[in-house]
Structure 1
């Protein structure tokens, strides 16, 4: 894995950051990034997890917690930053969540928008409201035009329940920020990849199958969509969150991605190389693959470069190697 300096011991006088959903696949990297930058991190989730044991932990059901409870938590921890790294699709496959029927759509909408509204209410109750960094998704825009990067000034037109629910959460945050009642940034993330992926993601599903194929010395049959996707290392995402928490904000919405549309076949090739599997080990099936987005996704990340002074740094082959290497250790 890429060499990174260890996080310094928590300093009680260091700026505090509260990471909602900090034990999740993105949240754990966000916590690590803030710790490396000298912040005092508190993880908020229903249950603790071993991989974030180095940080303070507060148990809270974010689906049901009232604004008063969140406001008190912010005050008690002295947080100067709060990150909403939750993904209210839950542990299920988000591609299934996208078309799970009217009841599932209503649940997703209530969870994402509900938490966002509760959080903005909680911030308004604080004597010194911390900055909020809210994590959305590039799928909030809906399908774009092939060959044209998705920019922040596009009118969002999401096409599935998951993306509509995420957009509702982002809009609740932006409505509060645009009226000046909270200080907030919304980061719209492309597909993330890197160490410890969610099992519901394409890399997360592929990883155990690759490991089994490598052990058995047998070919691996993978359905590879004829699609182009923007992939960004989850650790680069975490650095973007830190910069969004620290920089002056002249804008409120930022796309976070690599800025490059990559063929799905290229991603699979990098994963095979990381696993030490030859390209001939892949039996490719070019059938359809369910997805949350269009067949072509590329983020315009110029605003993040200009305002946040952020840019992706970890190349995709290194990301895939680190993902494979991390899979050999406990989560």
Structure 2
């Protein structure tokens, strides 16, 4: 007979808690799985390509095409793993077309909440939404959870549809669900579909020139490991604090993306020229400004980002195979520029 599953009680350590992570082999999902495993949870990651068995980080894996899984199959998965915490880190991003984004960001979440609502012993559902679910904001604005949700992109609209499904289930079906709206994640393993990931790949290949779309926007950049910490905080928070609510997860700062690229080049110490090419303008209609108000995360989850952008980008470059020499000590009394380098 299987050992009894320890119930997950609000505010208690996660040791021994069965945790199921959908999209566990993706960028966010990998870090979330590792963080739960480090906290002593029993983690099962679910992904299309994952093989059954234990992985190197101590997590077990289940292979499942989530885009095709129905409510009954998802409910059976929750029951078989005896999940007390269910994290939905799956989804399609910018590189996916509209059908894929609709299937994974919206339709899957509809089926997932129906599956959870029908379970006799429901896990806490933590859904990873996106800052792109919000309407565009004017420069200088901090976007709180009450900001209008009228996104201007297909990605934002499909992510909003999934988030609304979770919030609706919490209101109508007593599902213990919450939405974490995540800013732009960066750090080790960032995908090449992201700006930071693409720059890291080019630097690792020894490119002497980076030809990029115009770098005019500002983004709220948060380390992927800080995102994982926020998920753990949401898993351990009292239900009354998070159920049926939205919590922003970001750095609370707006970083010019040109500064992001310049800092990566500075950290690599490589002689690289940046060319902003208008011909490479992307079809996405991204907002020019993004900065999240993370006060609710501080007050409800006791969470705040711990890693600096410099640390995040250095670890990203190192993971991508780009050596980052130790920074040269500043000359006493010399002014420092925005990246902390001696500017003389």
Shorter-chain TM-score range? 0.7 to 0.9
2:121 alignment partner in structure 1: 128
2:172 alignment partner in structure 1: 179
1:236 alignment partner in structure 2: 226
Could you tell me how far 1:59 is from its partner in structure 2?
A: 1.2
Q: Which moved more, 1:285-294 or 1:252-261?
A: 285-294
Could you tell me how far 1:70 is from its partner in structure 2?
A: 1.2
Could you tell me how far 1:179 is from its partner in structure 2?
A: 2.3
Q: Secondary structure at the match of 1:150?
A: coil
Residues 57 and 271 of structure 1: CA distance in aligned 2, closer, same or farther (over 3 Å): same
Q: Secondary structure at the match of 1:260?
A: coil
Could you tell me how far 1:106 is from its partner in structure 2?
A: 4.8
Looking at structure 2, the residues matched to 30 and 295 of structure 1 have their Cα atoms a distance apart, in angstroms, of 29
> In the TM superposition, what whole-angstrom CA distance separates every residue of 1:274-310 from its partner, at most 9, and x where no partner exists?
22225xx323326374355311100010000100110
> In the TM superposition, what whole-angstrom CA distance separates every residue of 1:242-285 from its partner, at most 9, and x where no partner exists?
1111101424101110000011121112211222225xx32332
Unaligned runs of 5+ in 1: 1-12, 98-103
Unaligned runs of 5+ in 2: 1-14, 323-344
Looking at CA atoms only, which structure, 1 or 2, has the larger radius of gyration? 2
TM-score of the superposed pair, with normalisation by structure 2: 0.82
Higher helix fraction (1 or 2): 1
Q: Secondary structure at the match of 1:213?
A: coil
2:89 alignment partner in structure 1: 85
Preserved CA contact (<8 Å) 1:23 1:51: no
2:251 alignment partner in structure 1: 258
Preserved CA contact (<8 Å) 1:28 1:51: no
Q: Does residue 73 of structure 2 align to residue 113 of structure 1? A: no
Could you tell me how far 1:219 is from its partner in structure 2?
A: 4.1
**RMSD, aligned CA:** 2.1
Q: Secondary structure at the match of 2:27?
A: coil
1:65 alignment partner in structure 2: 69
Looking at structure 1, the residues matched to 99 and 205 of structure 2 have their Cα atoms a distance apart, in angstroms, of 38
2:38 alignment partner in structure 1: 36
1:152 alignment partner in structure 2: 145
Could you tell me how far 1:155 is from its partner in structure 2?
A: 2.0
Within-5 A mapping of 1:161-310: 161-213=154-206, 218-248=208-238, 249-251=240-242, 252-277=245-270, 281-285=272-276, 287=278, 289-290=281-282, 291=284, 293-310=286-303
1:100 alignment partner in structure 2: none
How many residue pairs were aligned? 301
Looking at structure 2, the residues matched to 124 and 316 of structure 1 have their Cα atoms a distance apart, in angstroms, of 39
Preserved CA contact (<8 Å) 2:18 2:83: yes
